[in-house]
Structure 1
């Protein structure tokens, strides 16, 4: 039965799911029509909301672009490449390969979501060189599946936001420490269950595939040559000596790492996306040892960014329509109206999963849902911390079928969204169970 379901979803997705960019265009039309039908907004209002919000994610777009570029820079160094190759030696069979990639990606995303996305995809490419008979599509889906746990980990935007002193809901919600959110029994149960079971689900998915997709050996050979293509030209001129200077990289890289140490000494374990990018970049500068080698790696990494650069503004436009028209408020309020003290966290999770399809940003989603769900929780006497985490888990849950966050992984892997989404649908269905149990019964 499991195999039948896997093959059914894979066939449907391969046949009907368009490219991720087309998916973003279709979502734009859907939100436009819903805004006209469910709110008082007119056609020109929706057009204005769309255009007005189109560039609101420019800073975030650059952050995510740098996540892929800096991750590629670090992973292509001899130091990191050697580490990943040695870790990949643990996999001897396709099943072991899928399990290993799932575990590594999950633990990396638990530490930081941006780091985890890049590490998972890059590690999968090292593993497939070790075990070329593994289904490549499923291996990349396994790398992306680790992203399910990010909002229960150290870079979770919502619990970290409400634990700060100046968050925008502090007057009604107060300060909620991470002991009541990330370290709560229900969150630990959800995270532990997912990390334990995702490798099993992916393993059985592999066993259920009849026609496997193997990566082209020529692609692997080309990729390996690109990684090892370190120019060793003699530095004949002063300019070339600077380009190949170990001292210059050591001074700049060392200064960057001093800042990283100062940041964590001053702010504690503040793993925001900027400090992660900064750390990875300057480690890359140190490990590449010369500016020339670094720039060679940058040129390779930048080639992967087309999907992110063109699609993120469209999601910003979708978010603009959802928020400005009041459509997101209507969806959230409908779930509030049918909730009780016990069911509010669960129904909040469902509503957050739905809204995440149109606003695939944890921070942006909290800005939309928080002002609605927290007053409702206070009025019903529900656990406000649990309700906040319900929004977080709803955001993480439907990322499995929302290609927004898969773009960095797909860019590194060289795949299309339809290649992995059939497997991700199974993960979506399964992850619903432990998340729901944690929110309802713990």
Structure 2
């Protein structure tokens, strides 16, 4: 039945979902029009908000570009490429490939969202070189594992409210992760998704006559030709000693960061780790730069689209549109249903504000007073917003950009399969938040 349902979903998305750049242009106009129509903000004020906020994500844009580039360079270092190739050779059927790549992506995303995006895409590409499997579903399966990230160890909302001095601490205090990430209802949701998401992906596997198979030649990376250095500069460019000293110094810093200072993962640390390991494993600066040139081409979408999302986020937050939307859902909720409506409203807001930290900043001022007035469970409400933020990423191509760049696909190629997962995972998450 799921294979039958996935066919019209794939055709629908292929026909009507535009390129992510066009998608963000449409969202910009929708957000601006809704702000003018639904809030007291006037047109010229919306225009100012949009322009002033356009560059607010420059730091994050560079971080995301480095997620793509550093992960690409790491995966294309000879040792990692051999490891991925070895693991992929152990998989002998299309069904196994779909299940394995989903589980790997789920586990990696639960540890850290940036790590999950890169690892899942790279493993999917390695599998496609050895197994005859629908490449669109394989990459969609890798991306679908991303749905668990906000219920995992790097979830920005539960980590924010567990930090002393966070911006809502005076209202709700500090909420330990034992009440959010490691609460029984959250662990049950994560466990259910680890079972159901791979199964759904497997059941959507098209038959041989409908599968889109990527050619092995298109997935192979061009071999590098060895160069014999002749000038002093070339000796430096091909120096293993130079690369090794810098790379090992970076790894020594990470050892101090993790083991002596006891710090945790964040996006900057993940990028630093990927980059330093890539420097060591490539062996010479020349090999690393060749890999960089191959990887940077896929980052064009990130560079051009993220400023537009920054402008949309500014419109949603500063006009009061996101607050009004959240307030409407809170107004129809009860103590028992507030978590459900918080989840739904967060999913809608996430289409326009695809940022976990931004999501909490937008919705906390509305949902916290609602939870207090209704006597609802505050940790559960916070996790409902976190899960809503993660859930509609299955429809929002913003976070898929690094995966698509690595895989060499378009958003329309994978989002039809993700649409099925959107409905299935939405039911599981909503039920877990409401009834467990």
SS in 1 for 2:211: coil
Give a deviation string over 1:195-222, Cα, whole Å, max 9, x none. 11111100110146852111134312xx
Report matched runs for 1:173-184 at 5 Å.
173-184=172-183
* Structure 1 residue 428, shift from structure 2 partner: 0.3
Partner of 2:411: 417
Task: List, as ranges, runs of 4+ consecutive aligned residues in structure 1 with deviation greater than 2 Å.
Answer: 1-4, 207-210, 265-269
Q: Does 1:312 align with 2:306?
A: yes
1:2/1:208 contact within 8 Å kept:
no
Comparing 361-370 and 205-214, the one that deviates more: 205-214
The Cα RMSD (Å) is: 1.3
For residues 267 and 40 of structure 1, do their structure 2 counterparts lie closer, same or farther at Cα, with a shift above 3 Å needed? farther
Question: Which moves more between the two structures, 260-269 or 70-79?
Answer: 260-269
1:333 paired residue among 327, 335, 338: 327
Structure 1 distance, partners of 2:228, 2:207, is 54
Name the counterpart of 2:240: 246
Instruction: Identify the residue that residue 221 of structure 2 maps to in structure 1.
Output: 224
Counterparts of 1:368-407 in structure 2 under 5 Å? 368-407=362-401
Q: Deviations over 1:287-321 (max 9, x none)?
A: 11111111111111111100110001111111111
Structure 1 equivalent of residue 17 of structure 2? 17
Equivalents in 2 of 1:433, 1:440: separation in Å? 11
What is the alpha-carbon distance in structure 2 between the residues aligned to residue 322 and residue 21 of structure 1? 19
Is 1:437 equivalent to 2:431 in the alignment?
yes
What secondary structure does 1:424 align onto?
A: helix
Distance in 2 separating the partners of 1:100 and 1:366 = 33
Q: For residue 98 of structure 2, what is the aligned residue in structure 1? A: 98
Among residues 281, 284, 296, which one is paired with 1:302 in the alignment? 296
- 1:135 matches 2:134: yes
Aligned to 1:58: 58
Gaps of 5+ in 2: none
Residue 322 of structure 1: CA displacement?
0.6
TM-superposed CA distance for 1:372, in Å, is 1.6
Deviates most, 11-20 or 391-400:
11-20
Secondary structure in 2 aligned to 1:130?
coil
Conserved? CA contact 2:128–2:216, under 8 Å: no
| Residues 177/9 of structure 1: CA separation in 2 closer, same or farther (3 Å cut) | same
Separation in structure 1 between the aligned mates of residue 206 and residue 18 of structure 2, nearest angstrom = 26
Query: Unaligned regions of 5+ residues in structure 1, if any?
Result: none
* Cα distance, 1:375 vs structure 2: 2.2
Question: Displacement of 1:363 after TM fit?
Answer: 0.8
Q: Distance in 2 between matches of 1:185 and 1:347?
A: 20
Q: Where does residue 36 of structure 1 map in the other structure?
A: 36
1:3 matched to which residue of 2?
3
Alpha carbons 1:7, 1:209 under 8 Å: kept: no
Question: Aligned partners of 1:3 and 1:414: how far apart in 2?
Answer: 24
User: Measured at CA, do residues 209 and 433 of structure 1 come closer, stay the same or move farther in structure 2, by a change above 3 Å?
Assistant: farther
2:331, 2:260 → 1: CA distance?
44
Indicate if the aligned counterparts of 1:6 and 1:208 stay in contact, CA closer than 8 A.
Answer: no
User: What secondary structure does 2:182 align onto?
Assistant: coil
**Distance in structure 1 (CA, Å) of the matches to 2:262 and 2:369:** 31
Change (3 A) 1:267 1:163: farther
2:269 aligns with 275
Query: Residues 137-156 of structure 1: matches in 2 within 5 Å?
Result: 137-156=136-155
TM-score, normalised with respect to structure 2: 0.98
Give the alignment's TM-score, normalised by structure 1: 0.96
Q: How far apart, in 1, do the equivalents of 2:261 and 2:396 lie?
A: 33
Alignment partner of 1:412: what SS?
Answer: helix
In 2, Cα distance between equivalents of 1:346 and 1:319: 23
Query: Are the equivalent residues in 2 in contact too, given 1:88–1:127 (CA < 8 A)?
Result: yes
